[in-house]
Structure 1
Amino acid sequence: MILGLLVCTAGAAASLFLPPPGAMAHLAQIGRFQGVILLVIGVFFYFSHFRAADLFAKIALRLILGGLLALGGALLLFGPVASATRNMPLPLATETLLAVVILGGAILLYLRLGHWIDLLVERRVFGKRDPRQMIQDFRQQIGSQNSRASLIASIQSAAIEALAMRPEEIQVEPGLPDHTAPPADLLIPILPSSSKPIHLAVSLQGDRRTLLTTEIDLLHEIALYTGKRLNDLEREEERIERVRTEGNLSRQLVEAELRALRSQINPHFLFNSLNTIASLIPSEPEKAEKMTIRLSSIFRYVLIQSGRPFSSLHEEMEFLRTILEIEQIRFGERLSVTFEIDSAAEHLMIPSLILQPLVENAIKHGVTPKIGKSHILVGAQLHDDTIQIRIEDDGHGLRTDNDLDRRLRAHMTNGTGIGLQNVRERLSTLYGTAAALTLTDLESAGCRATMTIPLYGAKNANSSVARGR
């Protein structure tokens, strides 16, 4: 404003006292009109308390810069350039070329200096930080935050820092604006399309009467990035909840399936055991008592394991010993049993009660039909990354071709009820294709049932049981 007064006064005084038409007289005439423009711009700039004051200041200074560059270019073109090209062979062409060069240089200089003018207005005149740097810092800050509360606190603190205002003047309001409360001077949506919309409310109090355009643009940008981050968090929470729900449903389905499979206990073993006890009571009461105690231990173990999906290999082998002791009492000298258990595998976990159907299968199809003595071998050892459990008998096996044996083989390999199909379903439910159950004929006589359980599955089962599952 003062500069405009000085230029206007100096131009008027020069027009009165300098003789025309000299160069200084022309310059004084230009100064009279340009000084008025400077005066008007200065007045607006000095009393600016409106929203676009920063833009007005930038544009005004750019206009002044453009006028100065145009004036300097004109003086250069019609002064030294005109004098230098007057005595050249092609004065008009040379002057035109130099005019284009001067114009291009003035444009490039205007663009470069215009950028510095913007920075001068934002940082020196209005005391603001670089908005681009503030946005970059804000994006890095919210990128590592994973809660709604921390994001709301971050946008509020960023807005307070950007506007240099008090915390009570900037609030993050959930839902629609409250018409009963004092209206906010500026309301910027953060999540406008959400079921729970959020707005950034700015209330101008005290001496602060307006917001600059760059400040409003900055608030809109940080609100936009905050809304995107909140949407990402909502989608991530929904995905986690969906995965958790699907996991719970899958676990419940597997547990229900396993309970249904474990509940299919063969009643023939109970009937045979009770009949044997009844027949031994008159003649051999001591064996009947021993068999009753063993039968009680078996059903106690079944009741205990009914709520547990896994047991240690050692517990399952002791359970099989008790079953086979009862069978030895029932068959007498006809049945002998051998256990070959790798001690390194005894602590690993296997599905509860999964070996009982294999032993019953060996008794029913290997020992019972055979005339004379029979032998059952129960073995378990570690092989590569698996546990291999085998149950062998020296009965007829699977190699004969008569109708009875074909039906027997179909029953053993396909298995219905609590048979081998039950075992295969449990293995498939727990381990997928990593576990297997195979039946093979022995070279001499009999059949071998081999169950393969992945070692990692046994370890996972062990950790699950340790956690109390």
Structure 2
Amino acid sequence: MHGAVSTTTFFAADLIGYTTGLLITSLLLVLTLRAAKLPGTPLANIVFAACGLLWSAGGLLHAGALAAGHPYASFIARATQALQYTGAAAFPIPILAIWRPFAVRPWQKTAARIVRIASCISAATITALLWYAPVSSAAILRATSYNAGILIVLGAAISLRRDSTLRAVYGPSLALVIAICGATLTIGLARTSPGNSWIGVGFGFIGSHLVLLVLLLAFLLFARFRYADVFIRYGIRILLAGFWATLLSFTAQSPTVMHVAEHASAPAAMHVFVVILLANFFLLSFTFIDDRLTKSVIRWLFREPDYRAALRSLAAALQDVRSESEVGLALEKAARGPLELNGARWVALDPAACPAPLLEGEVVELDRADKLRRLLPLPNVEVLVPIADSGRVTHLLLVAPGAARPGLVMQDLNYLRGAAAQCGNRLDALRREREAAERESREAVLQQQVTEAELRALRAQINPHFLFNSLNTIADLVVRDATRAEAMTLRLAGVFRHVLANSSRPLTSIRDEIAFLRTYLYIEEVRFGDRLHVELDMDPEIANEDIPSLILQPLVENALKHGLSPRPGPGRLWISARAGKGEIVLRVEDDGIGPGAAPAGVGLTNIAERLATLYQDRASLTLAPRPAGGTCAVIRIPRSPR
């Protein structure tokens, strides 16, 4: 038990701090390597993450070596410290490289190039001295700290100007310079403090961890880094856990806790009890602070729009659109506005030129060397977002963030995925609405055609010639054969009853159609007498198959009127319904004068139109002469699946 905070406490804090830093820099390096091929991820980002990893890994190994009892002058302590400060010596190189685009004037470009060259030379020199020089290690470490501070200050003074530097870059860069100067000062004071004094160890601890914490956070403010928000979310969690662990370490060794423990009857048990209470308190506070702190930092760093409000606004806008082009315009507006993109374009998918993952619905990010970028209608495209309609990708959203804004982060990509999904759903709804309208239109046209056919059938039965002949025949039969007159009257009524009963039915069974023809032909047989001989043949297999109602009556009427009526002597009429290979074959044949003398009537045209409406190009009507004389009309209709 100690009555005051000792240097041993700082060893524990160092171990926790460097472990935290190692986790953060490892995460950063993994994410930067993953984003290496994406636009806006320069090599400087990876070098920066590697420098941070060297600093944290070297610091952790050095603190562990000292905590294990190795003296400062031992080989292990010196080697681990050399590893740590190798990262510090190289820190200015990636930072100056990231600032390079903001040196726009000729003198700035020249001076910035000189400073970058100097940073590379100094890094190589310091690294060589750290590992191989026999001079004082403390002097080299101080030189490393001063070198980093001087180069960063020079680079910022040369490259950064308020009028030529983005505000999102200038402020964080200024904070970065201040942090570097602070770290340089505290590390320098630590190296000049006598021995292992409390003040020297404290300054060393603050300086070491100030470098890591502030540099990483400042880096994310201006680096074009795809996974920056992911890194921030997990990085803050790691930092907060490390800070809480450090705070617990200091608190557990504080004079107050030690005083309470020493005055208890069982000091060790009391100390353990107090530490457990403190650990539970920090754990509960961690869960409370972590989420709020992460959201606040991400909102501050990335100035995220209200994605939910933007998606709600897009959903409301999509309710009013009625075409694919309007959906595309709404999506382009929803992408450009909230994300402040340089360009966004809705295009139709070309499967031959698209990567396979895109066809599977995945967002594709194009690297700088991708040949597809040169084929796209929008320059500098970085991201392709698929839009799927009914599970099939039909369109793409081309996204070009532009050089003036930070790179897209994962939250931005998730927003674009959500917007694309909404547009895909709207496309699906529009397609369904269009199909329903087309179906209703076809049904309306079909109903109109059926009605017209029925009216023509009625006119054919009620026209003066038909009605006059039928009534004369009935009047004559009343005197000669009252029974047949009554039967013919009933048959005539049956014809009208069938037409009226099927006025709202576009389809009827073959059985009913043949039954109607029997009734219709009975009247015609009475009128023609012995001159007309009719044969009806129906395949029982297809008796219940559906065909367009009144589809055969115009063909029968055409055969009687234009084929058999002008011919002297008896005539024959054959009507058949047969099953073909996946189709129904309906035939109306006569041995009359043939089709050459028969003009094309509206009845035949109506049949062709009705077949096209119902079956598109899967049904047909042909009219041809019979080899033995007369006419053969054939209708082919696809069979309905059972």
User: How high is the TM-score relative to the length of structure 2?
Assistant: 0.40
1:147 aligns with 2:147: no
User: Which of 495, 502, 506 does residue 422 from structure 1 map onto?
Assistant: 495
One-letter amino acid matched to 1:197: T
Matched, 1:44 2:248: no
Shift of the alpha carbon at 1:39?
4.7
CA deviation after TM superposition for structure 1 residue 129, in Å: 1.0
1:215-265 deviation line (CA, Å, top 9, x unaligned): 223222212221222122112212321232133223322431343244223
The answer as to 2:313 corresponding to 1:240 is: no
Unaligned ranges ≥5, structure 2: 1-175, 354-373, 506-642
8 Å CA contact retained: 1:254, 1:429: no
5 Å-filtered alignment, 1:30-429, equals 30-42=205-217, 44-45=219-220, 47-79=222-254, 80-89=256-265, 92=268, 95-166=271-342, 169-176=343-350, 179=375, 182=379, 184-191=381-388, 197-208=394-405, 210-265=407-462, 270=468, 415-416=490-491, 418-419=492-493, 421-429=494-502
Q: For the structure 1 residues 149 and 16, does the alpha-carbon distance in structure 2 shift closer, same or farther, using more than 3 Å as the test? A: same
Give the secondary-structure state (helix, strand or coil) at the position aligned to 1:199. Answer: strand
- Matched-pair contact (CA < 8 Å) for 1:8–1:34: no
Q: CA deviation at 1:160?
A: 0.9
Q: Are the structure 2 counterparts of residues 410 and 150 from structure 1 closer, same or farther at C-alpha, using a change threshold of 3 Å?
A: same
Contact 1:163/1:215 (CA < 8 Å) preserved in 2?
Answer: yes
Instruction: Tell me by how many angstroms 1:184 deviates.
Output: 2.1
Corresponding residue pairs, total: 303
Aligned-partner Cα distance in 2 for 1:11–1:116 = 33
Cα RMSD of the aligned pairs, angstroms, is: 4.2
Q: Is the 8 A contact 1:162 1:215 kept in 2?
A: no
Residue pair 1:41, 1:60 contacting (<8 A) in 2 also:
no
The change in CA–CA distance for 1:6 and 1:260 in structure 2 (over 3 A counts) is same
Q: Which amino acid aligns with 1:48?
A: A
- Look up the equivalent residue of 1:110 and give its one-letter code: F
Gaps in structure 1 of 5+ consecutive residues: 276-359, 370-403, 433-469
Distance in 2 between residues matched to 1:144 and 1:82, nearest whole Å: 70
Give the secondary-structure state (helix, strand or coil) at the position aligned to 2:502: helix
Letter in 2 for 1:124: W
Tell me which amino acid in the other structure corresponds to 2:468: L
Q: SS at the partner of 1:159?
A: helix
Amino acid corresponding to residue 173 of structure 1 in structure 2: V
CA distance in 1 between counterparts of 2:265 and 2:451 reads 100
Q: Which 10-residue stretch deviates more, 153-162 or 171-180?
A: 171-180
Residue deviations 1:31-59, cap 9 Å, x none? 24322322541553355133233444444
Structure 1 residues 183-216: Cα deviation after superposition (integer angstroms, max 9, x where no partner): 5232222248988832211234453473333222
SS of corresponding position for 2:375: coil
TM normalised by structure 1 equals: 0.53
How many percent of aligned residue pairs carry the same amino acid? 22
Structure 1 or 2, whichever has the larger Rg, is 1
SS in 2 for 1:264: helix
Per the alignment, residue 312 of structure 1 pairs with none
> Aligned equivalents of 2:303 and 2:421: distance in 1?
24
Alignment correspondent of 1:401: none
The letter for the 2-side match of 1:171 is: R
